[in-house]
C-alpha cells in the first residue's frame, strides 16, 4: 500500500472523507431530499411488509412444497441481478428517478397479478418471481444510487439507522394487521384485501417520489467494471465482494424461510403477525439506538458481535423448531442484526466515496455490490433447494439453518481486512 494513503476512508478514523453530496448534507443532519427518500423507502417497506411475507405463505398453502418456494425466491434473485446490471445504463446516462418510480410501479403490478391469478398463482410462481425480481432490481438500484448521492460519511450511519427503523416499524405493524385481517375474514377475501392495500401503498410511493429532485446524469456506463474489479489481484473490491457474497447467502434463504417455519409450526397467520410484531419491535429499538450511538471506530467490533450473536441464536432450534425457539431466534436477530448491518452497509458505501474516480463510477460500484449480494443469495438458495429436494428432516433443516446462518461471520472476517486497513490496495486502484 502506498504510504501516502491515510485512513481517510472512514474505517479507522472518526473523520471520514467527504464525497459527492449536497452541501447541506455535510453536517450530519438529514436534509429535505434525504427525508423524502426515507418516505419513499418507508412506503416501499410498508407495502412489502404487509403482503411480501404472506405471498410466500399463500404459495405454501397451495403447494406445501419448500422446493417451489425456493425456486420462486431463486428466480426472483436471478431476475433482480439481471435487471441491476442491464438497467445500469439507464440510471447512469439517463433518468435514475424514473427507474425508482418504475420499480415501485412494477411492485404494484405484481400484486395486481397476484389478485388476478388468485388460487392459480402457485402455477405461475416463475412469472411472479420474474416480476418481483424486476421490481426489486429497479427500485433498489435507483434507491441505492440516490442514497449515496444525498448522504455522506457524516450522516450515513444515521440514515441507515432510520431506514432500519422504518423497516422495523413496517415489519412490526403491517404483518400483524395482515394476519388480523386474514383471520377475521375468510382466507381468500383476507388475502385479496391485503394485496389490494399493498397495491395502494405502492401507488402512494410513486406519487411521493415525484417530489424528489431530478438528479444529474453524467458519464458513460461501464458494463464490465465489476469483472475488471474482480480480475485485478489484491484489490479491495475482491475482499468486499467475498464479504457481500457471504452476506447474501443468509439473506437469500432466511428472507422467506423463517416466516414459513413460523406458519408451518402454528398454522396461523395471526401467530405469524404476532411474531413479526415482537421481533420487529425489538429491531426497531435496536436500529434506533445503534444508528444514534455507533461511531466509525466501533464498526468492526459491532459487526463482529452482531454476526456472532446472529449465529448463536440459531442453536436453540436444535432442541425443536417451534414457536418458542423461533421467537428466541427472531428476538435475537432483531436485537443484534443492526450491529452487523449498519456497519456493513455504511462501510461499503464509504468505500465507493473514497475518491473522485470512484464517485464518478458510483453506479457501477453500487451494481457491483448488488451483483455480489445476489450471487450469494442465489448460491444459498441453490444449496437450500438441493437439501430440501432430498430431505426435510428436522436435523437436516437445523444443520442447513446453522450453516447458512453463520455466513455473516465470513463477511465480518473479510471486512476486518478493510477495517484493519491491512494488505489491501486503495479502492481507486481497482480498475486502473
Give the residue carrying C-alpha cell 455522506. 152
101-135, pLDDT tens digit by residue?
A: 999 999 989 988 988 888 889 999 999 999 999 99
Q: CA 201 to CA 207: how far, in whole Å? A: 10
DSSP string for residues in 55-122: HHHHHHHHH--HHHHHHHHHHHHHHHHHHHHHTHHHHHHS-HHHHHHHHHHHHHHHHHHHHHHGGGGG
pLDDT band (50, 70, 90) for residue 29: low
Could you tell me the residue ranges of all domains in the chain? 28-215+222-431
pLDDT mean over 15-35: 53
In terms of Cβ atoms closer than 10 Å to its own Cβ (0-12, 13-18, 19+), residue 422 is: exposed
Is residue 22 scored above 70 in pLDDT? no
Query: Is residue 25 within 8 Å of residue 31, measured between CB atoms?
Result: yes
Is residue 419 scored above 70 in pLDDT? no
On average, the pLDDT of the chain sits at 84
CA neighbor of 74 nearest in space, from 128, 149, 146, 118: 128
Give the pLDDT confidence score for residue 209 in this predicted structure. 86
DSSP 224: T
Distant-in-sequence, close-in-space partners of 370: CB < 8 Å, separation ≥ 6: 80, 81, 84, 137, 140, 141, 144
Q: 67: which 3 cell numbers?
A: 422446493
At 357, which helix (H) or strand (E)? helix 356-360
At 374, which helix (H) or strand (E)? helix 362-390
Q: Measured between alpha carbons, how far is residue 304 from residues 57, 112, 308 in Å? A: 33, 42, 6
pTM listed for this prediction:
0.84
User: Which region among 6-10, 308-312, 320-324 has the lowest average model confidence (pLDDT)?
Assistant: 6-10
168-225, pLDDT tens digit by residue?
A: 888 888 899 999 998 898 878 888 899 899 989 998 988 888 888 777 777 788 888 8
Query: Is residue 232 within 8 Å of residue 297, measured between CB atoms?
Result: no
DSSP 298: G
Q: Which CATH architecture has domain 28-215+222-431?
A: Up-down Bundle (1.20)
What is the Cβ-side half-sphere exposure of residue 391, based on CA atoms within 13 angstroms?
A: 8
Give the pLDDT confidence score for residue 421 in this predicted structure. 43
Give the pLDDT confidence score for residue 356 in this predicted structure. 78
Give the pLDDT confidence score for residue 220 in this predicted structure. 84
More confident residue, 134 or 158: 134
Amino acid at each position: 500500500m502506498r504510504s501516502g494513503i491515510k485512513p481517510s476512508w472512514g474505517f479507522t478514523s472518526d473523520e471520514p472523507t467527504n464525497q459527492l453530496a449536497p452541501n447541506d448534507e455535510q453536517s450530519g443532519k438529514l436534509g429535505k431530499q434525504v427525508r423524502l427518500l426515507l418516505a419513499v423507502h418507508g412506503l416501499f417497506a410498508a407495502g412489502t411488509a404487509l403482503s411480501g411475507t404472506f405471498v410466500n405463505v399463500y404459495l405454501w398453502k397451495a403447494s406445501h412444497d419448500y422446493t417451489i418456494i425456493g425456486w420462486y425466491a431463486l428466480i426472483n434473485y436471478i431476475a433482480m441481478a439481471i435487471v441491476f446490471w442491464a438497467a445500469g445504463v439507464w440510471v447512469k446516462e439517463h433518468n435514475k428517478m424514473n427507474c425508482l418510480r418504475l420499480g415501485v410501479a412494477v411492485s404494484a403490478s405484481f400484486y395486481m397479478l397476484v389478485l388476478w391469478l388468485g388460487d392459480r398463482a402457485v402455477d405461475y410462481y416463475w412469472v411472479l418471481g420474474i416480476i418481483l425480481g424486476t421490481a426489486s432490481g429497479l427500485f433498489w438500484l435507483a434507491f441505492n444510487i440516490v442514497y449515496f448521492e444525498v448522504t455522506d460519511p457524516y450522516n450515513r450511519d444515521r440514515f441507515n439507522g432510520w431506514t432500519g427503523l422504518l423497516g422495523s416499524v413496517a415489519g412490526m405493524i403491517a404483518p400483524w394487521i395482515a394476519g388480523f385481517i386474514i383471520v377475521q375474514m375468510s382466507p381468500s377475501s383476507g388475502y385479496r384485501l391485503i394485496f389490494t392495500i399493498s397495491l395502494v401503498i405502492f401507488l402512494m410511493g410513486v406519487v411521493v417520489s415525484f417530489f424528489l429532485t431530478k438528479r444529474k446524469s453524467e458519464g458513460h456506463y461501464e458494463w464490465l467494471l465489476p469483472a475488471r474489479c474482480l480480475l485485478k489481484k489484491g484489490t479491495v473490491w475482491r475482499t468486499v465482494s467475498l464479504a457481500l457474497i457471504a452476506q447474501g447467502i443468509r439473506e437469500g434463504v432466511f428472507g422467506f424461510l423463517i416466516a414459513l417455519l413460523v406458519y408451518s409450526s402454528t398454522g396461523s397467520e395471526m401467530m405469524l403477525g404476532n411474531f413479526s410484531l415482537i421481533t420487529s419491535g425489538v429491531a426497531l429499538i435496536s436500529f434506533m439506538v445503534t444508528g444514534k450511538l455507533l461511531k466509525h471506530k466501533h464498526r468492526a467490533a459491532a459487526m463482529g458481535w452482531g454476526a456472532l450473536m446472529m449465529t448463536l441464536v440459531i442453536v436453540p432450534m436444535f432442541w425443536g423448531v417451534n414457536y418458542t425457539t423461533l421467537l428466541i431466534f427472531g428476538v435475537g436477530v432483531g436485537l443484534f442484526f443492526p450491529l452487523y448491518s449498519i456497519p456493513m452497509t455504511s462501510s461499503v458505501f464509504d468505500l465507493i466515496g473514497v475518491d473522485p474516480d470512484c464517485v464518478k463510477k458510483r453506479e457501477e460500484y453500487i451494481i457491483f455490490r448488488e451483483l455480489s449480494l445476489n450471487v450469494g443469495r442465489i448460491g444459498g438458495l441453490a444449496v437450500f433447494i438441493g437439501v430440501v429436494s432430498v430431505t426435510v428432516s428436522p436435523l437436516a433443516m437445523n444443520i442447513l439453518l446453522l450453516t447458512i446462518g453463520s455466513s455473516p461471520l465470513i463477511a465480518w472476517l473479510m471486512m476486518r481486512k478493510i477495517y484493519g486497513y491491512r494488505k489491501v490496495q486503495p479502492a481507486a486502484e481497482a480498475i486502473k
